[in-house]
Amino acid sequence: MTYSAQITKILSANDVGETGGHQAGILVPKDLEILSFFPSLNSKEKNPRVTLVFREGDGITRWDFNFIYYNNRFFGGTRNEYRLTCMTQYLRARNAKVGDHVVLSKCLEGRLTVEVKRANAPEMGQDDVLVLSGGWKVIKI
């Protein structure tokens, strides 16, 4: 399959639920290269969100994740961050561990796919990867 965009995040203990804390999904950095993977959200609306349908490599198994801009700081609250939520069930089903990579891909037709790559799996050459803070990467296609 040919991808038009692909991003990956190295999973932390918080992402996979090992810290016992409650978080509202995986934090998405406010980096334009990462945010451009996701649909635009209306910042004038309080906590805008969109449900994204991801498929696994089999093309059948479906996972619905929510991309949310928690912007209530501009509406009397404290938060100003992007999150990808509703991933807990997927990460547990794939037995994701700290250090594994969750890879989100978009094909040329716009279809979204998700996979977990194990931490000990070989990685692409460093010339093909831009490393960002928080364990996120943009994979140059």
- The count of structural domains within the chain is 1
- Tokens at residue 18, please? 């090992």
Tens of pLDDT, residues 22-69: 666 899 999 999 999 999 999 999 999 999 999 998 889 999 999 999
CA–CA separation, 14 and 10 (whole Å) = 11
* Stretch among 69-78, 90-99, 119-128 having the lowest mean pLDDT: 119-128
The whole-angstrom distance between residue 6's C-alpha and the CA centroid of its chain comes to 10
Taking the model in full, what pTM does it have?
0.81
8 Å CB contact between 28 and 35 = yes
Tens of pLDDT, residues 100-127: 999 999 998 889 999 999 987 555 555 5
At 109 the pLDDT is 86
Residue-number span of the structural domain to which 7 is assigned: 3-139
Would you mind telling me the total number of residues written for the chain in this entry? 141
User: What is the domain-level CATH number for residue 134?
Assistant: 2.40.330.10
CA–CA separation, 12 and 98 (whole Å) = 5
Contacts of residue 1, defined as CB under 8 A and 6 or more positions apart, other chains included, come to 105, 107, 113
